[in-house]
Chain A
Amino acid sequence: VSELEQARWRRLHPLSPLVHVGRLLIALAIVAAPSTALGGSPWELLAQLVAIGIVALLGLISWLVTRWQVEGDDLRIETGLLRRDSLRFPLKQVQAIDIVRPGLARVFGLSELRLRPAGSTGRHARLAYLRTREADQLRTQLLALAGGAASRPAGLDEERVLVTLPTPRLVAGILLSRLGLLATAMLAALVGTAIASPSAAQAVIGGGVFYAIAAATAIWRRFNGAYRLTVAEAPDGLRLRSGLVATTAETIRPGRVQAIRMIEPLLWRPFGWCRLEVDVAGRQRAEHEGGPERRQLRAVLPVGGRDLARTLLERIVPGAPDERRRPPRRVLLKSPLRYHFLSWGRTDGCVVTTSGRVARTTDWVPLAKVQSLRRVQGPVQRRLHLATIHLDTAGRNVHAALRDRHVDEADAALGRLVELARTARNVATAGPKV
């Protein structure tokens, strides 16, 4: 690709409005089909057709006014007819580049390119849609630009597959999760009522149809998101690929990982399974904001054995500590449910903490990524001579906390961690920026 060609505005693929509209159409069909089938008048049909026509026209216009180009170290996108948006994404600050391919786009051989910037409120850059080959090339090019190197021609092929997720295990994992159990219980209850009295079941179905749809969507998302997940090691980081209908491909660069979390739910423990998630810098919510609606982090390993998780962890954070120190026994008085899982450990470059009431969560935070440290002591903790040390990172929601340690230990740890974090930071700054 020559310099001249690089600096030219480009359009998205001409079929992209069709894909956009098509996806909307499918949604519309699902919503509107029952009412139409039950006895729709021709007027209703006409209204729906007009709506579809308008949507199609809007899609076409939005395609016509959208263009993009790579200019120097920036990706620029211009879009909008009435309110013109000109977006500029500095590639140096891009955290990750994903390729997403919804089912319909795959039919046409198209994919969407998504850039995640580091800003805490920033918008994602979306290029929907490009031809799949073009998207792959562009991603390599952008990654190379983001990495600082002028261009890295090869490298796409040299990757080593580390993990492939077997589908039966994924299904079992989802069934044994909270969501899966809830759905199973709902289904069982429904079947039960249907056998007992069909008329009552009908009423229940009428009332609960939205919950059913919501649950089904959530389960489908989770299934699709992790279906045939492949983790491969490449020169530029870990590559994740997954999806049944809509596929995603993303690259996690080790230097960008802010924290890693391992979750072991109660029901998975007999099988020795766990879930490994990575946290990269991005939009985040303050601590008090919406707990349940928190977005799930990207799972490197949705369901897998501990050995596997350990291997992956070693790739992302080399030399992660394993040593654990237990809290004093009197913590049992303060947090009886948590006590059994509380512990922490550290090396010179990384801190590990475990916590959790029912599911055990283990968090690893590289000290070079620590943004600030906090020591918090509540009234109960003071009476028991305990204190908690928090390590804040720029990640979305993982942050390590050394909960309920003896005051002396906490103070010593705080002093030492501040020092270690400083050294780690200086080394990271002096070295090549990743």
Chain B
Amino acid sequence: MRRAEVGVVTVAAAGVAGGLAGSVSGWWGGVVAGAVVVGGLAAEWFVRRRVRAWAYCERQDDLLVRRGVLFSRLSVIPYGRMQFVDVRAGPVERAFGLATVRMHTAAAASDARIPGLSGDEAARLRDRLAELGEALAAGL
């Protein structure tokens, strides 16, 4: 189980936005900045919950990925059904040394991703999934 520090980014963004707005004009700027900070905190709370709900578990034959607070989802993906696994890291993710692992099966509906893994963990997971996928591969 792991979680990402996306919330930190949100707070930083909110602070910067607030500061900018405050410096632009006097009194109204302050109100706007306050609103932005409150909004940022609320967003941070949501994001933290979302991140905390995101979890995965490697079982013997399949991978479980759970996510979502309001709409909770639990995906069961057998290793043998994985067509390919890709690891992606956007600019923000790279700055924090994080990566997203994404699993694809032959069904379009069952895409499962695990964001916010550390680079090493992502690479380990990718290799392990690829290895297991090859060992247990099943036809269509």
Contact = CB atoms under 8 A, between A and B. Distances in A.
Contacts of B80: 425, 429
Contact of B78 (A284, A375, A414, A421): A421
Interface string A384-421: 00000010111100010000000000000010001001
A372 B78 contact: yes
A36 to B, nearest CB: 47
Interface in A154-174: none
Given A378-B71, A425-B78, A425-B80, A399 B140 contact: no
B75 A373 contact: yes
B75 A428 contact: no
Q: Which label, helix, strand, loop or mixed, suits the secondary structure of the A interface?
A: mixed
A120 B84 CA distance: 13
Interface of B: 61-62, 70-78, 80-81, 105-110, 112, 137-140
A258 B74 CA distance: 23
Q: For this complex, into which size category does the number of interface residues on chain A fall?
A: 35 or more
A369 B80 CA distance: 12
B71 A392 contact: no
A394 B82 CA distance: 12
Contact of B105 (A371, A375, A425): A371
A378 B72 CA distance: 6
Given A281-B106, A371-B107, A422 B61 contact: yes
A379 B75 contact: no
B73 A374 contact: yes
A428 B139 contact: yes
B109 A425 contact: no
Contact of A374 (B70, B74, B138, B139): B74
Contacts of A377: 71-73
A286 B138 contact: no
Contacts of A256: 140
Interface string A262-291: 000000000000000000010011110000
Contacts of A120: 106, 108
Given A374-B110, A394-B140, 15 more contacts: A118-B140, A285-B108, A287-B109, A369-B140, A371-B81, A372-B107, A375-B74, A377-B72, A379-B70, A379-B71, A399-B107, A422-B62, A422-B78, A425-B78, A429-B137
Nearest to B81: A371
Contacts of A374: 73-76, 109-110
Contacts of B105: 371-372, 392, 394
- B75, B108, B137, B138 pick with most chain A CB within 10 angstroms: B108
